[in-house]
Amino acid sequence: MSDQEPRQTPDWIEDAKAELSGMAKEGVNHPSTKPVLAGAAIGAAAGFLLPVLSIPVGLAIGAGFAFYQRIKK
User: Which residue ranges make up each domain of the chain?
Assistant: 31-73
**pLDDT, mean of residues 42-64:** 93
Higher-confidence residue: 72 or 30? 30
Let me know: does 15 contact 71? Beta carbons within 8 Å: yes
Q: Residues near 59 by Cβ (< 8 Å), separated by ≥ 6?
A: 40, 41, 43, 44, 47
pLDDT at residue 4 tops 90: no
pTM for the model: 0.77
